[in-house]
A = this chain, B = another copy of it.
Amino acid sequence: MVDRILGRGREAREGHEGRGDQAPDAPAADPKAAVWARVQLARNLRRPRILELLAVIADEFVELHGDRLFGDDEAVVAGFARIEGRRVVVVGQQKGADTEENVRRSFGMPHPEGYRKAMRVMELAERCGLPVVTFVDVPGAHPGPESEERGIAEAIARSVGLMSRLRTPIVTVITGEGGSGGALAIAVGDVVLALENAVYSVISPEGCASILWRTTDEAPTAALAMRMTADDQRALGVVDLVIAEPGEGAHADHAETGRRLKTAITEQLDRLAAIPVEVLVEQRYRRYRSLGAYAELAGPAPTPPVPPRGGLADRLRGLIEAGQRAIPAPLPVGRRDEPPAREDV
């Protein structure tokens, strides 16, 4: 039996509660409260997002707009930036500073055109040989009907696929809320950094709680169970490096947060620039290929034998030849028609 990744999971479970005491309003003694305090910090409205961070990090920034297909989604910011002389392409989600801007930016929840803009600009980065830096902070992709109509799932899938093979370095920073597929769509990188109070999860704690505990009141319980803090994510191997936040947290000191991020990003850019692109892309493939824990048992195939085809003629033949073949009964059909757990991812 092989248990490939489990070690990292164990580490997450045992090692990293120690930093919980840095989170304000959260006694270290209560891990659930500590985690929930971090979720609140990650969602703090004054937390710096791509534009606030670029104001500190970038010497120069030229925003590019539009997906060349349908629209310009202001929930995603993309463009050229210069970071201590290094030319890069940047992509990130952006919320608004006030209600008017929040409406314009769909409260930071991208529609498909936001991800399609990101893809266009990342492809441009690949052509120009510019590295990509992404800043991830999103409750999730926009869940409205227009988002579904225009193919939010297709956009996420395509963007994830594109980033997995993009022939240029990608540095990803989870700066705030790493909300599921809407985060992942711009968070596939050669290296994944996270700010200390950032969180990353497959589903919102509220969504998880409402499905598994049947009440959103258990969101803190779900948050703890999902091990969504930056430190836990590092222990799982999903995040490579956690960057400490100054003082009370990133929201209280954009400038210092930006400076620390800048140091980390430039270090990574310089490290990745030294790797030949073929090697880089192969390493990135391996990085994601190895994420996820499973065991592999030896022994006989456990799946029930496949019965002959179900066409009427075949089926009749099957009945006539009964005894020669084992025809297991199909699963009772009723229970396969329950509604699915729809909030997954």
Contact = CB atoms under 8 A, between A and B. Distances in A.
Interface of A: 68-70, 112, 116, 150-151, 154
Chain A interface mostly helix, strand, loop or mixed? loop
A162 to B, nearest CB: 14
Contacts of A116: 69
A120 B154 CA distance: 14
Nearest to A112: B69
Contacts of A69: 69-70, 112, 116, 150-151, 154
A70 B150 contact: yes
Contacts of A112: 69
A69 B68 CA distance: 12
A112 B154 CA distance: 18
**Top 7 A-B pairs ranked by shortest CB distance?**
A68-B154, A69-B69, A70-B150, A69-B151, A70-B70, A68-B151, A69-B150
Given A68-B154, A69-B112, 10 more contacts: A68-B151, A69-B69, A69-B70, A69-B116, A69-B150, A69-B151, A69-B154, A70-B70, A70-B150, A70-B151
A141 to B, nearest CB: 16
12 contacts: A68-B151, A68-B154, A69-B69, A69-B70, A69-B112, A69-B116, A69-B150, A69-B151, A69-B154, A70-B70, A70-B150, A70-B151
Nearest to A158: B68
Nearest to A113: B69
A70 B68 CA distance: 13
A153 to B, nearest CB: 11
A115 to B, nearest CB: 12
Contacts of A150: 69-70
Contacts of A70: 69-70, 150-151
A312 to B, nearest CB: 25
